[in-house]
Structure 1
């Protein structure tokens, strides 16, 4: 029986390795995730104390630690890890499966090499399927990250509150901008594959080192984040719920277009990119760590598959 390699590892193996790498990366950069989410929902017209607004990532960290302690930097970590695991497992499974099926049916003559356009198309298809499945976890995580400690609930209670106040559809709030943002992982993974091929060619090697994978992952994620950031901010504001103290002081957003229109009217064009530096830092670090750790976890997954096959003999 032929040995299992990265090329022959089944989609579920890639999904396990990808989700494990993503969870590891998120755990390391989670305080930045909290900060970028809270900055994204802050608006100029909010009639709240200025101390509630973060001037920078460091200012946000200091304010959260002062008010909530170190644990405040990890509010909603459980649901966020669950969301990251489910999102990345679903995405890597769908992407690997769709890519494998496409290569088998239409691409054998080219040895499995895909054009940039097809990489983006397959990535977008996998992203759309993933978004439809995992948006409820994203909504719950946003609520847990942005509500004050005294109003914060666990995952089940948050789901129950959303359903009671907004109906089941509330769990899919922000689904339209989320679907538009399917282009983000498509750009990320599509550009990663192309940049990776270029780097391997320039280095005249067939093996991507963890350091090189980190650099290529950082570059590809930066590109994707800059292109899609306004919709990232719009999606977060759509999923956000004002605290009890703020209710009546801010008007609920009706759509992603409503978010973008109100932000540009009140804060100008650069309001669309509020908090982008923190978003990029968090996204680049977590994505680069994911790409670096996915290769490592993939090797462990291959080893696990080999051990299971040997155990069955």
Structure 2
């Protein structure tokens, strides 16, 4: 018995088999390799058996102070990174939506018109979405790693299994983070399209959310679900690479050193994010298009999916156009992830000592 984990994915494959073959392939792979592997089933069965016999304590794992410390430090660090680098996020989205624009051109235009504040349009929803996403990810990632090590008695986690655990940690947060991501991108898109002389007040986060729900329907918040599922591998790659680099650096040091210096964490974070961003950028661009475009509620014409968007881009401008805007994406992603991980290393020391006390 492969367990119930794969049922939602197999059902989704049956429902969408005629619409999106690429997502079907991805779902089949996840179901076969990540969720129903022999190793995963063995861990699950051992966990259930030990819990029934009283040998395991799932409650202690679910309420892990170590997981809480990682989640709090990650969320706090993400707030700092978002406040500093959100204008780069706005510029990145504008370039991805309009290939005729350049990052330098957008920045010069806003400086010349004295309207740099527009680059912060949408930060309210981002300040809710990003910390929430990091909190959920680091909390679940730490729990999954703890369960893995406890029920396999392994001293280290193989790269393949680390990617699987990271993917699952990112996957569980999509239900709450996707609507906020749509709201953020829509607010930035409207700020870009707003006329230079317009005096109309920009809609708030709540007004944007309610407007999307009323005119496009609740399902529109999850229009980019397929792309988002695929992009769950992005943080998995980022943090697996970061952990490997961190372990390598710490092994080179003498003594019982547990944390990287600020510069080391920044450099390791920049490298790991650059690797992940380069691999997954076409899906990132498709997701940006899907979350930024508007669709009338009950319209007979279905909203374009990820594969259709990518095909249109290649047909109109060639395969190289799939990487249009990767410059701002790399700069923004690398700087934000590097800054977040550097700050997280420092915050983690304080938070860990506060939450765990003498236990580190």
- TM normalised by structure 2 equals 0.73
8 Å contact from structure 1 (residues 31, 61) kept in 2: no
Deviation at 1:9, TM superposition (A): 4.1
**Which stretches in structure 1 are left out of the alignment for 5+ residues?**
1-7, 44-52, 244-250
1:1-313 map, 5 Å: 9-43=65-99, 53-55=100-102, 57-67=103-113, 69-106=115-152, 108=153, 110-111=154-155, 113-148=156-191, 149=194, 150=200, 152-204=202-254, 206-207=257-258, 208-241=260-293, 254-305=304-355
Q: d(CA) in 2 for partners of 1:16 and 1:25?
A: 14
For 1:114, what is the secondary structure of its paired residue?
A: coil
Instruction: Specify whether residues 170 and 66 from structure 1 end up closer, same or farther in structure 2 by C-alpha distance, changes over 3 A only.
Output: farther
Instruction: Specify whether residues 255 and 81 from structure 1 end up closer, same or farther in structure 2 by C-alpha distance, changes over 3 A only.
Output: same
Q: d(CA) in 1 for partners of 2:352 and 2:241?
A: 25
Q: How far does the alpha carbon of each residue in 1:109-161 deviate from its partner, in whole angstroms, 9 at most, with x for none?
A: x33x1111111010000011122321011000000111035474111111111
Deviation at 1:64, TM superposition (A): 3.0
Q: d(CA) in 2 for partners of 1:66 and 1:292?
A: 33
Counting matched residue pairs gives: 281
For 1:157, what is the secondary structure of its paired residue?
A: helix
- TM normalised by structure 1 equals 0.84
**Which stretches in structure 2 are left out of the alignment for 5+ residues?**
1-63, 195-199, 296-300
For 2:172, what is the secondary structure of its paired residue?
A: helix
Q: d(CA) in 1 for partners of 2:290 and 2:220?
A: 10
Q: d(CA) in 1 for partners of 2:308 and 2:159?
A: 33
Q: How far does the alpha carbon of each residue in 1:159-213 deviate from its partner, in whole angstroms, 9 at most, with x for none?
A: 1111111211112221110110001001101111112222223445634211111
Q: d(CA) in 2 for partners of 1:13 and 1:300?
A: 9
Instruction: Specify whether residues 242 and 166 from structure 1 end up closer, same or farther in structure 2 by C-alpha distance, changes over 3 A only.
Output: closer
* Larger RCO (CA within 8 A; separation ≥ 6): 1
